[in-house]
Chains A and B, each alone.
Chain A
């Protein structure tokens, strides 16, 4: 009869298996550790409150589809600083654009951005956002970190990360950008717009016309 040996004569395979299970135990121990709870900062509270406000519109069954869209667009306009986002996305071309062209671009961008945001929220199916923390972005901005909780994926150990960049202008908080898994939408739009302008001799009215057309297509 062969004796089972767990001493120094262990084979490479059993050693590897032992190492793997040791790793498993360590990981489970690490997973059990959690950070102590801290009081929410004003920016975190701002996002928490507005997530609830936004959700209450999205799940309100008494509203028709059009009413929901209108209310939600009003909510988004109150939550974000669309003008600041528009200015950012125009990049270096903002400096050379005339005030009239800038104003026309801001209007077209507002329609386009609302159409884009609305198209994302139209796919809403019960998810919610949970604030997990924040960090300051000098001089007067904060990034609020959240994770998306999807009821269809209970106990997901790696929920989707959604972060919000909050600006504080004279005590008024507003969202100036947001990211999903580290991809900032404003940065992506800026890259697109400046690339488009680069191919069209920096002509802002051409971009404005294109934005209007695109907003209609998305709607």
Chain B
């Protein structure tokens, strides 16, 4: 019940903050709703501390590494259709070929995606989404936003998140339309990401003076690197 009250308060905050004047610092960081975003970030942090983190800790402690790897491989393989569609939309034939090859190898030799044989054959993994495709097409990120449960999601990436759902063929298979399939898959995706990044996230939080600002910078830089496909960037000039 408290969670719903908190969500209601955040929603109210969103409406109120739309009328308030953003601080110069918020404007400089293209984060005009910074006060509300911080509220949602705190809420997500609490939710993480109470639910996701303990679950990820238990997952790391009690589930053998090989089993976790199998879960990760399966989830990654299921997502390859989204990556492939976006590789094509971005006009990247080489990367689309890689994705198709990974899917072929891992779905056959890798027993339906349980094992990542493609990596052992030297076919590297990469991930694409419609948010990145929009960026390649020249669409700007928009003001920084944090969504309840989902975390950082500026307008461009939020649109991407919705469009990617339709690139996933499993949603068109009637039996898979069951809500448990969707929720279960999303839960394991979250658990997998959280468990794999446990140490990194702990380190950043421990070393941070302002974890919200650190997360915002991390998200933007990481996304920019994904959009560039890891190609050399031009770091900001030292003034």
Which residue numbers of A lie inside 8 Å of B, CB to CB? Answer: 17, 19-21, 23-24, 26-28, 30-31, 84, 88, 116, 119-120, 123, 135, 137, 141, 143, 145, 155-158, 161, 165, 167, 176-177, 179, 181-184, 187-188, 191-196, 198-199, 207, 210-211, 214, 217-218
Contacts and interface: CB of A to CB of B under 8 A. Distances in A.
B29 A195 contact: yes
Interface string B90-125: 000010111011011100000000000001111111
Interface string B194-213: 00000100010011111011
Given A20-B100, A184-B221, A30 B203 contact: no
Interface of B: 23-26, 28-29, 94, 96-98, 100-101, 103-105, 119-126, 199, 203, 206-210, 212-214, 216-218, 221-222, 224-226, 228, 230, 232-236, 238-239
A183 B218 contact: yes
Contacts of B209: 192-193, 196, 207, 210-211, 214
B122 A28 contact: yes
Contacts of A199: 25, 210
B104 A119 contact: no
A214 B125 contact: no
B123 A119 contact: no
B210 A196 contact: yes
Nearest to A29: B97
Contact of A23 (B25, B104, B235): B104
Say whether chain A's binding surface is mostly helix, strand, loop, or mixed.
helix
A123 B206 CA distance: 15
A101 to B, nearest CB: 17
Given A158-B125, A187-B217, A182 B120 contact: no
Contact of A195 (B96, B122, B213): B213
Nearest to A94: B239
A60 B236 CA distance: 37
Given A119-B207, A182-B222, 7 more contacts: A26-B97, A30-B97, A119-B206, A137-B235, A182-B225, A183-B221, A187-B236
Contact of A28 (B121, B210, B236): B121
Given A27-B98, A157-B124, A188-B214, A182 B230 contact: yes
A195 B235 contact: no
Contacts of B125: 157-158
A191 B122 contact: no
Nearest to B211: A192
A158 B25 CA distance: 37
A210 B207 CA distance: 12
Given A88-B238, A157-B119, A196-B209, A24 B25 contact: no
A85 to B, nearest CB: 9
A84 to B, nearest CB: 7
B119 A156 contact: yes
A207 B24 CA distance: 18
A156 B214 CA distance: 29
Contacts of A188: 214, 217-218, 221
Nearest to A183: B221
A157 B117 CA distance: 11
Contacts of A23: 96-97, 100-101, 104
Nearest to B105: A24
B232 A135 contact: yes
A143 B217 contact: no
Given A165-B235, A183-B225, A192-B208, A155 B120 contact: yes
9 contacts: A27-B101, A30-B98, A119-B207, A135-B232, A157-B123, A182-B224, A198-B25, A198-B28, A214-B209
